[in-house]
Amino acid sequence: MRKIGVLGAGSWGTALSKVLCENGHDLKVWLRDETQCNDIRTTKINNKYLPNVILPDNLYFTTDIEEALGSSEIILNAIPTQKIREVFKMIPKNLVTDKIIINCSKGIELGTHYLISEIIKEESINSDYVILSGPSHAEEVALQLPTAITAASDNEEAAKIVQDLFMTTYLRVYTNKDVKGVELGGALKNIIALGAGISDGVGFGDNAKAALMTRGVLEMSRLGMCLGAEFSTFQGLSGIGDLIVTCTSKHSRNRNAGFLIGQGLKKDEAIKKIGMVVEGITTTYAAYELAKENNVDMPIVHAMYDVLENSADVKETVTKLMLREKKDE
């Protein structure tokens, strides 16, 4: 049995906490909202994020971050990307020292363009970082539907420890050493999923979405390899696998937000209607800036930026993409 502190009780943090608790580990989950915390304690249901899932009786929730992490040897981070640094700065440094820190959030920090591994490295001391990513919706994992994900770390032993923590009859975990590739795959696919939703919302067909997804993998790989990731990672679970599920699933908040934008809503209106963090929107801005800085050709990302930032007409934007200079595949 491992003592694990969890940061964040959104859908993914809650679903993974349920897996770990059912695997026999001792968990304490931190969240900010006192009312939500009391409701979960009383009902054993996270009504805001996983209303159809009953949680284990021994899964403990608290609004005291030091109580959640005080006795932990492992930390699971499920805080949205743009809030991770803020939360880690709240934590006494001794509580984020010499730990295994598992991250299941996806994105790129605005301003710094840091990946989450780089944020955690700055905000913790002598801790091993492991990123969990892959085609996995919290709603399905919480219902014990078959799922496969990747645990990537520079420390092979830490990756295997995390693999053992989560493995069940319905959740299969593969290890990987390409931390940067796994992180970038998980972040960048949200941009493509947002575009897939816009495509559906505006009324384009399956042909358009298939082309978007296929060319999107290429753009993800281009930026990834420029930043030091391995091409093969983008062909695996955290690349193509995660892209497929996020572009096509009814559970995908990025795809669903894109659909609303395609239907005519502004990005802020879409976010409000979704009611959860839509990482693909902030990641579009970060990826657009990274592509410019590194002179990487990412026409889909540029088009998405134009739609989000400049309210460009979607159909005109697609026409521009279709009429780009002819080239070999």
Q: Is 292 labeled as catalytic in the residue annotation?
A: no
Is pLDDT above 90 for 220? yes
How far apart CA 278 and CA 259 sit, in angstroms, is 12
Whether the Cβ atoms of residue 266 and residue 178 lie closer than 8 Å to each other = no
Please report, as a single letter, which amino acid is at residue 301: V
Q: Which two structure tokens, joined as six digits, stand for 5?
A: 């502190």
How far apart CA 326 and CA 318 sit, in angstroms, is 15
- In the chain, pLDDT over 70 holds for what percent of residues? 100
Q: How confident is the model at residue 318 (pLDDT cuts 50, 70, 90)?
A: confident
> If we measure between CA atoms, which residue out of 71, 73, 68 comes closest to residue 87?
68
Q: Which two structure tokens, joined as six digits, stand for 44?
A: 């054993």
- Residues 164-184: what's their mean pLDDT? 98
Q: How confident is the model at residue 322 (pLDDT cuts 50, 70, 90)?
A: confident
Question: What pLDDT, on a 0 to 100 scale, did the predictor assign at position 103?
Answer: 98
Question: What pLDDT, on a 0 to 100 scale, did the predictor assign at position 264?
Answer: 93
Whether the Cβ atoms of residue 97 and residue 212 lie closer than 8 Å to each other = no
Q: Which two structure tokens, joined as six digits, stand for 95?
A: 């509580």
Give me the catalytic one of 99, 106, 180, 189: 189
Question: What pLDDT, on a 0 to 100 scale, did the predictor assign at position 324?
Answer: 83
How far apart CA 230 and CA 68 sit, in angstroms, is 36
Question: What pLDDT, on a 0 to 100 scale, did the predictor assign at position 325?
Answer: 81
133 vs 61, 176, 237, CA distance in Å? 24, 11, 8
CB-based burial label for 160 (10 Å; 0-12, 13-18, 19+): middle
- Residues 220-235: what's their mean pLDDT? 97
Q: How confident is the model at residue 247 (pLDDT cuts 50, 70, 90)?
A: very high
How far apart CA 162 and CA 25 sit, in angstroms, is 12
How far apart CA 92 and CA 99 sit, in angstroms, is 13
